[in-house]
Structures are given as structure tokens and as C-alpha cells.
Amino acid sequence: MKNITIAGGGLVGSLLAYVLAKKGYQVHVYERRPDMRKEVIDGGRSINLVISHRGWTSLEKAGIAEEIKEIIVPAFGRMTHDVNGDQHFYPYSIHGKSISSVSRGELNKKLMNLAEAMPNVKFTFNQKCVDVDVETGTAWFEDYNTKQTTEVKADLLVGSDGAYSAVRGKMTSLPRFNYSQQYIDHGYKEIHIPPAADGSAQLDLKALHIWPRKQFMLMGLANLDNGFTGTLFFPYEGEESFSTIETAEQAEAFFQRNFPDAMPLIPNLTEQYMSNPTSPLLIVRCSPWNHKSKVMLIGDASHAIVPFYGEGMNAGFEDVKIFTDILEELGDENMHEVLDQYSAAREKNANAIADLSLRNFIEMRDLVADPQFILRKKIEAKIYKKYPEKWMPLYSQVKFTNIPYFDAWTEGQRQDKIMEPIMALPNIAQIWDSDEVENMILKSL
Ligand SMILES: Cc1cc2nc3c(=O)[nH]c(=O)nc-3n(C[C@H](O)[C@H](O)[C@H](O)COP(=O)(O)OP(=O)(O)OC[C@H]3O[C@@H](n4cnc5c(N)ncnc54)[C@H](O)[C@@H]3O)c2cc1C
């Protein structure tokens, strides 16, 4: 095992290239797009991302966490904005822990630079994977400019070519390959919130900002330049939806009605709404993630999820770590076994974070402003503080630990069952801090 082809030089493909090169493999990354370090691509899609604990764990294992820390902005909690412009801050952790906001483009460029600095990694751009022979690990890449197709055969072909993966597409014709794809009713549009004229931030930099409006929401994550990348998550159809807000005037009235405090922060809001692309949100589940010892899937190619837990890339980075852990244990002379174990270990966790991410959409767009939900969080924080060995809130398990997603989700469902009767107590708002409630919870545990 010497040569590895990686189809897709996005976040996960670039990290994997670096990690495999450190292990001595010859890695060739073929990326469909032009080199983003030389050309501006994806206008209006500069989305920033949150790195959480498990993402950091993978970056630490790769030995590059310090370089990435240079380009992040920490967020210590949610700042909700109601329609009257009132803001409320809810910390993510009772221990002052934070998640890290990072520009997708800057992170991708940094990972590419780190990988390309290795003598045994090569990136070739404008190369679209158009066909794959899964039995031999051979891939065909079409050059975007010349339209010439190159055949590439390697010991292992990795599909890290994202949610619409061509490598996975080829695997779907294999016998007993499971595959499902689901578009949710909502899409998203980027709305950039610039810094003030003097360069200062217009919103609290230490928070992830949410304007929850039940059926839709606006969200803002800080950038290094004191601006924020805002994202409007909005239904495609319905009374208030992409299909009914079609003109600049309608967009202006919609924002005035729903996000009046955001309007003065974004001078060209309606222009952005009209010109920035609307993108769909997709969930992909599949199994297995390998074909024998020749082909494997990783990142969004194997598990595209909706972005409401901010875990898609983190899950992909975790794939890289788990794959290399197993590779180190079994050795590449057992690649078939390595890939079988990797696939088995990751699938149930990917399905769990897919479910958790859908659940978090409801939490973010609706529940964060709900007094019952806020009260439940308060009770959970109290129990967590007093009995950390017995109770850890689901959000903390997902964002601040490496507890497998499947285990976190199982524990979260158990916590739901315990909290249901507690929250149904008629006078819970008055007695939430009492020994009675505490004892009821302890008894259920
Ligand atoms: C709005 C939004 C917000 C998000 N927020 C977060 C967040 O806060 N935290 C988080 O962890 N995740 C987040 N995600 C998810 C995250 O963006 C993805 O999980 C992550 O980008 C997956 O990385 P990847 O490398 O697997 O795929 P991608 O980043 O999609 O990279 C795939 C690469 O493959 C290339 N490619 C595609 N097809 C081919 C082909 N046929 N041949 C060759 N190359 C090809 C593409 O050009 C691309 O460079 C968010 C996603 C969205 C949409």
C-alpha cells in the first residue's frame, strides 16, 4: 500500500491528505474546483463553521491544532434576539467552554497549505471525478478546461467529494449498498453582517447570534475581521418562504417585520437577499462506506447532515481520526479489515448525529425562546453541576466531549424521558430549584 488517490480536496479530504502523508503514503488529491488560494470562488457562499471538541481532537492528533487556532473566534454561548430587539445570553457550558467559529474558506486554504507542504502530497485542481471502477480503485478525472480525461489507479481510492459524491454515486450500483437522500423543507441564504465603519463589531463577538422565529431563523457567527456571517434558514414554500419573498420590496418588508434589530447592521441587506444564492439542505445516509480494500468514503460523501448542530465537518474530522486509529492498530496489510471496521464504527454514529441535527433545528429556531425549554436547561445545569458523574446535558456531550454520537443520542433520549414528567409538574416554574425536584430526578437516574 503506497499510493492513495483522494477525490475532493475540501475540508476532510485536505486533512486526510495531510494525515496520510505524515504516515508516508504518496497522496494525490484531485479537486473539482479551481485552487481557492488563487481564485475567488463560491461568491455568497463564504459560510463559516463551528469547530467543536471532537474536531479539535482530530486536529490535535494530526498535530496541527495550533495553526488552526490562529484563525478562529470563540463563542461562549447563544445570544437570542427577539422581535423587539431584546437580547438574552445563554452560556453553552457551566464551565465556560466555547465553540470556535472559523471561515470555511480560510480553514480549507490552511489545510491545503499544510498538506501541500508535505513532499509526498500533490493537489491537482479543476479535476472532476467522472467515473470509478470500485473493484480496482481506479478513478477517471475530467479536466475542467481541456475536457481531457485522466485515468488514475491507486492502492486506495478515497471519496471525500462531499454531499453529492461521484464516488458514492458509483457505489450505489453495488449489490446490498444502502443509500438514502432527503431534502428538508428549508434552504439557506448567506447574509453578511459587516463590521461598523470604524472597524468595531456590531454584535457581541463572544456569542453565536440567533434570531429564532419558529418556522425560520437567522444566525450569525463571528469572523476575524469583526464582521459576522449570517445565514437565513428559511422554508422553500409557505406563507413566509423563499417562494413568497421574491422582490427587494418584499425582502425589505420581511426583514423589517421579523428582524428589525438586524436591519440597521446590514446596509445592503435586500441586495444581498436578492443576489446571494439559495442553497438546499440535504441528509445522506449510506452503508457500507467501503468496497473491499479499494474504495472508502469519508466526510459528507458518506454522511451529509443538516447544519443545525454545527457538526458535519466535525464528524468528518472524527472519521479521519477513527480511520487512522484503526489503520494504526491493524496495519495497511489488512486494509480490507481496516475499512470494514471503520465503516462499522462510523455508520451508527453518523446516523445518530443526522437525527440529532434535525432535532437541534427545532431547538434553535423555536425552543431557545420558549420559557419551558429555558427552565429545563436551568434544571439540567443544576443537576450537572451537582452530579457531573450522573448527568451531562446532551449539548455538552455532543460539543464538548468525544462521546460517540450514538451514545450521546441514547443518553439524550433517556434524559428526555426523565425530564418529561418533571416539566409536566403544574408548579415547576416555582419549585424547579427545590429538593423535591432534585430527588425526583435522582430517583429516575
Ligand atoms: C450552511 C452550513 C453550515 C454548516 N456549519 C457547520 C458547522 O458549523 N460545523 C460543522 O462541523 N459543519 C458545518 N457544516 C457542514 C460542513 O460544511 C460539511 O460537513 C463539510 O464541509 C464536509 O467536508 P467534506 O470535505 O466532506 O465535503 P466538502 O467540504 O463539501 O468538500 C468536498 C470537496 O469535493 C469536491 N468535489 C465534489 N465533487 C467532486 C468530484 N466529482 N470530483 C472531484 N472533486 C469533487 C468539492 O469541490 C469540494 O472541494 C455546515 C454546512 C452548511 C451547508
- CATH number of the domain enclosing 21: 3.50.50.60
307 CA distance to ligand 1 centroid (A)?
11
Helices marked H in 122-247: 166-171
242 C-beta closer than 6 A to ligand 1: no
Half-sphere exposure of residue 403: CA atoms within 13 angstroms, side-chain side = 18
* Residue 380 and residue 345 in one domain: no
Report the pLDDT value the prediction gives residue 12, as an integer from 0 to 100: 98
Expressed as residue numbers, the domain containing 434 is: 370-444
In a domain, 257, yes or no: no
Report the pLDDT value the prediction gives residue 202, as an integer from 0 to 100: 97
Closest CA to 167 of 283, 289, 284, 12: 289
Q: Evaluate if residue 42 carries a pLDDT over 70.
A: no
77 C-beta closer than 6 A to ligand 1: no
230 C-beta closer than 6 A to ligand 1: no
Confidence category of residue 1, pLDDT binned at 50, 70, 90: low
389 CA distance to ligand 1 centroid (A)?
36
E strand or H helix at 116: helix 104-116
300 C-beta closer than 6 A to ligand 1: yes
416 CA distance to ligand 1 centroid (A)?
32
Q: Which of 127, 132, 161 to mutate to test the pocket of ligand 1 (most atoms within 8 A of CB)?
A: 161
* Residue 312 and residue 415 in one domain: no
Q: Which of 78, 223, 231, 313 to mutate to test the pocket of ligand 1 (most atoms within 8 A of CB)?
A: 313
For range 3-20, the mean pLDDT: 98
Q: What is the DSSP letter of 434?
A: S
For range 363-389, the mean pLDDT: 91
- The set of cell numbers assigned to 412 is 439524550
Residue with the smallest CA separation from ligand 1 atom 2 is: 307
* Residue 296 and residue 389 in one domain: no
Closest approach atom of ligand 1 to CA 49: 8
For range 295-314, the mean pLDDT: 97
* Residue 112 and residue 154 in one domain: yes
Q: Whole-number mean pLDDT of the chain?
A: 95
Least confident of 107-111, 205-209, 360-364, 436-440: 360-364
Instruction: For cell 434558514, name the residue.
Output: 233
Q: Evaluate if residue 198 carries a pLDDT over 80.
A: yes
Report the pLDDT value the prediction gives residue 46, as an integer from 0 to 100: 62
* Residue 25 and residue 118 in one domain: yes
- The set of cell numbers assigned to 110 is 490552511
316 C-beta closer than 6 A to ligand 1: yes
Secondary structure class of 185 (helix, strand, coil): strand
Specify whether the CB–CB gap between 140 and 48 falls below 8 A.
Answer: no
Q: Evaluate if residue 380 carries a pLDDT over 70.
A: yes
Specify whether the CB–CB gap between 29 and 6 falls below 8 A.
Answer: yes
* Residue 171 and residue 27 in one domain: yes
* β-bridge partners, 310: none
106 C-beta closer than 6 A to ligand 1: no
Q: Domain tally for the chain? A: 2
* Residue 108 and residue 164 in one domain: yes
Taking the C-alpha atoms of residue 271 and residue 276, their distance in angstroms, rounded to an integer, is 8
* Residue 295 and residue 434 in one domain: no
371 CA distance to ligand 1 centroid (A)?
35
DSSP string, 159-170: E---TT-HHHHH
313 C-beta closer than 6 A to ligand 1: yes
Q: Which of 6, 11, 289, 360 to mutate to test the pocket of ligand 1 (most atoms within 8 A of CB)?
A: 11
In a domain, 189, yes or no: no
393 C-beta closer than 6 A to ligand 1: no
* Residue 309 and residue 402 in one domain: no
Q: What is the pLDDT of residues 291-300, one digit of tens each?
A: 999 999 999 9
DSSP string, 337-385: HHHHHHHHHHHHHHHHHHHHHHHHHHHHHTGGG-HHHHHHHHHHHHHHH
Report the pLDDT value the prediction gives residue 404, as an integer from 0 to 100: 98
Q: Where are the beta strands (DSSP E) in 56-198?
A: 72-75, 77-81, 87-91, 99-103, 121-124, 127-133, 138-143, 149-153, 156-159, 178-193
421 CA distance to ligand 1 centroid (A)?
40
Q: Evaluate if residue 381 carries a pLDDT over 80.
A: yes
| pTM metric for this prediction | 0.97
In a domain, 312, yes or no: yes
Confidence category of residue 366, pLDDT binned at 50, 70, 90: confident
Q: Evaluate if residue 120 carries a pLDDT over 90.
A: yes
* Residue 398 and residue 342 in one domain: no
Q: Which of 130, 278, 300 to mutate to test the pocket of ligand 1 (most atoms within 8 A of CB)?
A: 300
In a domain, 435, yes or no: yes
432 CA distance to ligand 1 centroid (A)?
42
* Residue 352 and residue 435 in one domain: no
Taking the C-alpha atoms of residue 11 and residue 110, their distance in angstroms, rounded to an integer, is 10
Asked if the peptide bond before residue 421 counts as cis, ω within 30 degrees of 0, the response is: no
Q: Evaluate if residue 43 carries a pLDDT over 90.
A: no
Q: Which of 299, 326, 360 is the last residue of a domain?
A: 360
In a domain, 249, yes or no: no
11 C-beta closer than 6 A to ligand 1: yes
Q: What is the pLDDT of residues 217-268, one digit of tens each?
A: 999 999 999 999 999 999 999 999 999 999 999 999 999 999 999 999 998 9
In a domain, 16, yes or no: yes
Q: Which of 317, 342, 360 is the last residue of a domain?
A: 360
Confidence category of residue 365, pLDDT binned at 50, 70, 90: confident
Residue with the smallest CA separation from ligand 1 atom 49 is: 10
In a domain, 222, yes or no: no
Report the pLDDT value the prediction gives residue 362, as an integer from 0 to 100: 85
Closest approach atom of ligand 1 to CA 33: 47
In a domain, 395, yes or no: yes
Closest approach atom of ligand 1 to CA 129: 42
Closest CA to 377 of 2, 80, 59, 33: 80
Closest approach atom of ligand 1 to CA 300: 26
Regarding beta strands 217-222 and 228-235, do their DSSP bridges make them parallel or antiparallel, or are they unpaired?
antiparallel
Q: Which of 5, 6, 32 to mutate to test the pocket of ligand 1 (most atoms within 8 A of CB)?
A: 32
Residue with the smallest CA separation from ligand 1 atom 35 is: 8
Instruction: For residue 66, give every residue at least 6 positions away whose Cβ sits within 8 Å of its Cβ, in sequence order, or none.
Output: none
Q: What is the pLDDT of residues 155-193, one digit of tens each?
A: 999 999 999 999 999 999 999 999 999 999 999 999 999
Report the pLDDT value the prediction gives residue 104, as an integer from 0 to 100: 93
103 C-beta closer than 6 A to ligand 1: no
Q: Evaluate if residue 44 carries a pLDDT over 90.
A: no
310 C-beta closer than 6 A to ligand 1: yes
Q: Which of 305, 336, 360 is the last residue of a domain?
A: 360
241 CA distance to ligand 1 centroid (A)?
25
* Residue 375 and residue 440 in one domain: yes
Report the pLDDT value the prediction gives residue 45, as an integer from 0 to 100: 60
